[in-house]
Amino acid sequence: MKRPEPERDFDDVGWERRQHTLEIFKVVGTLSLIFGPVGALLLWFSHSALGDHRERQISQLAEKSADSSARKKSRQPTEIYLGEFRSSSGSAQRAKESPGSQGIRVVELEISGIMRGSTDEVVHFERGLGRYQNRIRAAITEIARGATDEELRDPAMQSMRQKIRGKLNRLFGRRQFEEIVFNHFRTYDL
């Protein structure tokens, strides 16, 4: 007859597992104490053997980084599109001078500004340009409405370009634009 095995208590099973886990930790700890310093020594000696090679790599990377940052900092002229603008203004004097006219002058402009800056500066400026769109529109409309007939007849539009450049540079608080370019300019009377 088989002898029945005594029932195990749950506490005995837990104790055996703890003992087994403790033995595993002892083995892992011992191995890490042996292989940890050995690995550190290997790293130490391999670093000194490869030191010259790594120093060359680091100096090459530094040179490449300096070249790319110098290119980024170069201040190339860049054309920034400012928008299309339309201004109309009425004048009793113009109405008297032109009997068939209502005395209303319409000025249509499409304007870009030439700015000199690094790539980062130009990108930053273009991203923030939308916040100033209403002020830019108001400044250009004011200049177009106040323009004299002589200024509007000037083929180079030198006076208008100077006024717009000055007004926009004051708006941005520094000399942002070197030049203003008219992509489209048209004036007519109604």
Assigned domain for 1 exists: no
Question: Do residues 135 and 96 both lie within one domain?
Answer: yes
Q: Please, are residues 181 and 153 in contact by the beta-carbon 8 Å criterion?
A: no
Same domain, 183 and 113: yes
Which pLDDT value is given to residue 53?
A: 59
State the pLDDT at residue 162. Answer: 92
67 and 84 in a single domain? The answer is no
- Within this chain, do residues 91 and 114 fall inside the same structural domain, yes or no? yes
Distance CA 88, CA 115 (A): 28
Report CA dihedral (181, 149, 109, 127) to the nearest 10 degrees.
Answer: 60
Number of domain units in the chain: 2
Helix-helix angle 133-146:158-172, to 10 degrees: 150
Residues 41 and 54 in one domain: yes
Say whether both 57 and 84 belong to one domain: no
DSSP, collapsed to helix, strand or coil, labels residue 42 as helix
Question: Tokens standing for 71?
Answer: 């290119």
Q: End of a domain among 72, 87, 121?
A: 72
Residue 125: φ, ψ to 5°: -65, -45
Query: Are 154 and 106 in a shared domain?
Result: yes
Give the tens place of pLDDT for each residue, 52-96: 555 666 666 666 665 555 555 567 888 888 889 898 887 666 556
Task: Name the percent of the chain lying above pLDDT 70.
Answer: 70
Same domain, 57 and 15: yes
Same domain, residue pair 184 and 125:
yes
Among 72, 87, 104, residue at a domain's last position: 72
Structural domain harbouring 24: 10-72
Instruction: State whether the Cα torsion 67-73-75-81 is positive or negative.
Output: positive
pLDDT of residue 125: 83
Domain final residue, candidates 21, 55, 72 = 72
**Phi, psi angle pair for 2, to nearest 5°:** -80, 140
Same-domain check for residues 90 and 58: no
Residue 126 has pLDDT above 60, yes or no: yes
